[in-house]
Chains A and B, each alone.
Chain A
Amino acid sequence: MLKKVLLLSVTVLFGMQAGLAMAANPDTGPGCGLGKLAWSDYSHQKNIGPQVLMATTNGTFGSQTFGISSGTSGCTNDGKVMAEQKTTMFAQLNFENLSQEMAQGQGEHLASLATLMGVPAEHQAAFFAMTQERYTSLVKTGEASPVAMVKAINDAIATHPVLAKISTR
C-alpha cells in the first residue's frame, strides 16, 4: 500500500514529462484511436476521486484526431474505420450489447449490425428472429472471435430462406 502511494506521488511529481511523451502516442487499443477511452484504463476511472477530476475537466478521453494518426489496424490514417472493417469492428466493440439484444430479439445495436450487413430495415425482424434462435452458438463463437461471429451470421443469412434473397451484401 505504502509502495503504491509512493509510486503515485512519484508519478504525480514527474508525471508531466511522461505525460507529454505518452500524449505523442495516443492509440493503444482496438478501433480508431478509441483504445484509450474504454478499453485500457476504464476501470480505474470509475473510482469517485478520478471521476470527479475527469468530469471537472469535462470528461476528456480519447484523442485520436483525424489527419495525424499513423493508422491503426482497420483504420484509415484520418481516424475513420475502413469500409471493409466496419462490420467486424462494430461487432467487436459492441459485443456485449449485441449479445443482449440478440437474446432479446431487438435493439439498436442489432438493427445497426443488420444494416451494416445489408439487411434493409423492413426485413430486419427476420434477422432478429434468426439471431435470437441461434443466440447460444453465435455468442459462443463471438466470445472467441467477433470476426467468426460475423462470419457465422453471414453464413446463416446465406442459408436463410428470406434473408438470403434480400441481403444486399
Chain B
Amino acid sequence: MPRTQSLPRFRLANNRYGASTSTSKPRVFLTRRLYIVLLLFMLLLAPALPVDAGESHENAYLVELINKGRQAKLASEREWHLLLHYRKDLFGGYTSEQDDPGYFMSPDGKTDPQAELDATLKQFFSDELVGRSKQPAQCAFIARYTWLKQRLAFDETRLPQLACERFERWFADFEAQSITLIFPSAFLNNPASMFGHTLLRVDQRGQTDSTRILAYTINYAADVPPDAGMAYPIRGIFGGYRGYFSTIPYYLKVQEYRDIENRDIWEYRLNFTEHQVRRFLMHAWELGNASFDYFFFKENCSYHLLALLDYADPSLHLTDEFLFWTVPADTVRLIASKPGLVSGIAYRPSRSNVIRRKRESLPSEERELAHRLTKDVGELKSSALSRLEPMRQTFVLDLASDYLRYRIDTTGEPPPELKERNRAILAARSEIRLASEEFLVEPFAKQPELGHNTSRISVGAGWRNNSTFEEQTIRAGYHDLLDPEIGYTPNAQIEIASVTMRTYNRDNQTRLERATLANVVSLSPIDSVFYAPSWKINVGVQTIKHQGCQLCSNGVMNGGIGASVESHWFAHQIFFAFAEAEANYSRAYEERHRIGGGGTVGMLSDLTEKWKLLVTGTYLRYPLGDKSDDFRWTVGQRFTLLQNLALRLEYNHRDHDNDVMVSVQMFF
C-alpha cells in the first residue's frame, strides 16, 4: 500500500495544528484574516516539523538505513558520485555538475554527498512528487533507488517499493537492445561545425539497417530561444543557457543533419550488455528531471553523454579524460580507442555528398542530362533519357530528384516550381517499375578517429632577415588548411587560441611572435550544382617589419569573401580568390593604425597522400591611417609522418621581410 505511506504524515501534521489551534485561545486583536494567514503559514512549515510518535516505526528504519549507509561509506563510492555527477572541487570537497535544485533531495545536496544520500533515503519513504518530472523519489531517481536498495538490502515490508508505471512504460517503449554513438561531422562551408555534435541512439530489438531510423535518440542540447542572435555564443560559452535531455526519434535527427544541414553521420555501435543498457536508461530517466548549465567548451552535449555512458559502465572513466574542454570529435576518438567498446561503425552520407559521388560516377552526357532535368521537366520526354537503359534512367532520375530536394531543403523560401519539378520527376520515375539499386557512397572525409588530435604543439627553427631563430607554438584547436586532412572536412580551417614564442638569436630577443584568437577559412569549390561562397576571418597579433620598426607587434582583423574551384589536372587542387578588408593596429604605423582592402589568390594542392602544398599571394592597400600598401606571399608545405606527427616547411615574404622556417608538429 505504498500510496498511503506519507499521506498520514501530512494529515497527522495537519491534525496537530488543528489541535493546537483549538486549545489556544484566539486573541481579540488577532483578526480573522490574519489568523488564516498565520494558519496557512504554519501549514507550509508543517512537513518540516519533527514527526510524532505515529511514525516512529518508519523513522526507526530510516535511521537504521542511514547508519548502515554511513558505515558502508556509500556516499564516497564512485557509483554515488556518478549518479549525482559529483566532481572533486579545488578545495578537496565535492560539487555536483548538476544545476537543477530539483535533482537534489537535500538543500546541501550539490556539495554534500552524505547529506544527499541521507535525504534521498528519507525521501524514498514518501510518495511526495519531486523534481521537474513530478514523481515519487523512488521513481524519479530510479537508478539511485535500485542501487541503494541492493546495497542496503531494503526490507520491503518496512520500505515498500512503489510501482513506477511511467518509467516502465517509457523504458519498454525503447525496446532497447544496445546503444550507438552518433557523430554528425562538420557541414561544408562552416568550419565552426568541425567541433561537431554527438548524440546517442537507443537501438531496438529486431532493428535492421533500414529500420534503425525508427529508434529513439538520447540527445542533450541547450535550450536556446529561436532569435538568440549575438547573445547566443556569449551565453553559450559562459553557461547562460540550460541544457536538457530529450528523446527525439532518430529519423528526425537524420533529416536535420543529412538532409537539411548536409552533414555526414558516423554511427558507432557500442558493446553494452543488457544490464548496462538498462543502467543507461535508468540514469537517463533521472536526467529527465535535471538540467545542467550548458557550457559550450566543456559541459556540452558530448560531456554529459559521456557521463551517461560512464554510469552505464563505470569502468570506462570517460569524463575523467576531459579537464578544460570536450570536443565532440575527441570523445569519438576516445570511445573508439577503448578496446572492445565499439562493435561496428556505419557511415551515413549527407545528401550533398551522395549527389557528388553519384555525379562523379556518371559519364558527362548523363550528368548533364540529370542537370537539365532539374531545370526543365520537358527533358523527361527527351530521347536523351529514353534511349538509356531503364536502370540508367532510374539512376539519372533519382539524381535529379536528389538535387531538387537538396535545393528545396537548403533554400530559405524555395520557389514552388522546384517542388513541382521534383513531383514530375518522381512521377516519371514511378512509371519505371524497378527498385533503385543501392549506391555505395565513399566518404570524402574519413571517420574522425583516424584524424589527428585536437591540440597541437610545434617546435621550429628558421631564418628571418639575417637572423636565425627558434620558435615554439601551442594551439588549442583545431585544424588548419595544411594539417593532415584525414578525418577532417576538406578545405576548411579553424584555428582557435594559438600562441607562438620566438627567440631571435642575433638580438638575443624572445618575443610573442604570433597570437591567434580565431582564424577561420572555408573553401567551397563551386561547380554546376553547388555554389556557396568561400570566406575567411582572422583575428590575432603578428610580428611585422614596417618602416623603421624591425620587429613590431601588429594587431590584425581581416575578413574576406570569395570563391574557389577544384581541379584534378595533377592530383588534386583547389584554387581560390578572396576580396578582403583588413584593419591593423601597431605602434609602427603613423596614427598607430591603418585600414584598407585588397585581395588574395592561392592554391591548395595534395601532391601526394602525405604531402600538401599551400601557395598564396595577397595585395592590400590601406587608404586610412598609415597610408601604405602591402604585398605578401607565402609557400607552405606539409609532410605527414604519423597520424599525430607532421613536418612543415614555410616561407613568408613581405616587403623586404623574408621568413623561412622548418618545424615539427605534434598533435595531442
Contacts and interface: CB of A to CB of B under 8 A. Distances in A.
B229 interface: yes
B364 interface: no
A43 B299 CA distance: 28
18 contacts: A15-B227, A61-B221, A65-B132, A66-B170, A67-B135, A76-B170, A79-B246, A90-B214, A93-B252, A103-B426, A103-B430, A104-B394, A105-B435, A106-B436, A107-B210, A111-B210, A112-B251, A135-B427
B426 A135 contact: yes
Interface stretch (B9-17, B45-53, B185-193): B185-193
Contacts of B166: 78
A60 B219 CA distance: 10
A141 to B, nearest CB: 13
Interface stretch (A17-25, A149-157, A161-169): A17-25
| Interface-central residue, A23, A60, A61, A136, by most chain B CB under 10 Å | A60
A115 B221 contact: no
Interface stretch (B73-81, B254-262, B459-467): B254-262
A80 B173 contact: yes
Q: Tell me if A's interface is mostly helix, strand, loop or mixed.
A: helix
Given A51-B190, A96-B405, A111-B211, A57 B226 contact: no
Interface string A99-126: 1101111111101100110000100010
A32 B429 CA distance: 34
Interface string B183-201: 0101101101101110000
Interface of B: 131-133, 135, 166, 169-170, 173, 184, 186-187, 189-190, 192-193, 195-197, 208-214, 216, 219, 221-233, 235-237, 240-249, 251-252, 255-256, 259-261, 285, 288-289, 294, 296, 300-302, 328, 394, 398, 401, 405, 410-413, 423, 426-427, 429-430, 433-436, 438, 535
Interface string A36-59: 111011111011100111111111
B131 to A, nearest CB: 8
Contacts of A76: 169-170
Most B CB within 10 A of own CB, among A11, A63, A128: A63
Interface residues of A, number: 77
A38 B197 contact: no
A67 B210 CA distance: 29
A47 B411 CA distance: 9
B221 A67 contact: no
Contact of B213 (A16, A48, A109, A135): A109
A142 to B, nearest CB: 11
A29 to B, nearest CB: 11
Contact of B255 (A79, A94, A116): A94
A45 B261 CA distance: 10
A166 to B, nearest CB: 16
B614 to A, nearest CB: 23
Nearest to B289: A67
A37 B247 contact: no
A36 B190 CA distance: 22
A22 B224 CA distance: 9
Nearest to B240: A16
Contacts of B434: 105
A108 B209 contact: yes
A146 interface: no
B231 A16 contact: yes
Contacts of A65: 132, 244-246, 288
Contacts of A136: 427, 430
A160 to B, nearest CB: 16
B456 to A, nearest CB: 20
A105 B433 contact: yes
Given A11-B227, A36-B226, A94-B251, A67 B285 contact: yes
A67 B251 contact: no
A102 B54 CA distance: 68
Given A76-B169, A93-B251, A135-B430, A58 B225 contact: no
Contacts of B255: 38, 93-94, 97
A59 B213 contact: no
B190 A66 contact: no
Nearest to B291: A65
Contacts of B302: 58
Contacts of A58: 195-197, 221-222, 296, 300-302, 328
B219 to A, nearest CB: 7
B246 A62 contact: yes
Contacts of B223: 23, 26, 60, 63
Contacts of A80: 170, 173, 216, 247
